[in-house]
Amino acid sequence: MAEVFARHGFDLAKRSGDAGQRDGDLDHVGIFYVEVRRRETLAVPAWLREVASKCPPDMVGLLVFRRSRMAWQACLPLGQFLALLGDVHLRALVRSRAALDLPSWLREAAIDRSSGELPAVVFRGASVPWHACLSLEDLLAASVTGAA
């Protein structure tokens, strides 16, 4: 995971040596507090609550997750997402549902990349306030200027 961040300008990114450290699962990733989950069964609402409870107020809480044969995805609070991206053109699939189906929503959002717009899913669930979710690579490529 640290290699992905390093490709986008976070040259010192490394796996945290202590699970209780301020920076989450990765250290030296700018303003991001990163929690990483590699699981076949997704528990995104619980993971987002965990990130929100641990993230210091001066950092951007970022949940990075994936299943097998799925690209790394990143979820963060919608307000922080919009602040990071500034004037990047966004094409958002908006969902407000009790049950989250992020894998299929992410596939649907990314179908047509020809427009040059950043594909993302903006969602909220029964116990999850508004968040944005998109490819980690896309998020880092679009926000590295603001995050570095």
pLDDT per residue as tens digits for the range 93-116: 999 988 888 889 988 888 777 777
Given this model, what pLDDT does residue 145 score?
Answer: 45
| pTM to 2 decimal places | 0.84
CB-based contacts of 145: which residues, under 8 Å, 6+ apart? none
SS3 121: strand
Bridge partners, residue 90, by sequence:
118
Rounded Cα–Cα distance for residues 141 and 139 (Å)? 6
Closest CA to 8 of 125, 144, 117, 114: 144
Rounded Cα–Cα distance for residues 23 and 31 (Å)? 9
SS3 42: coil
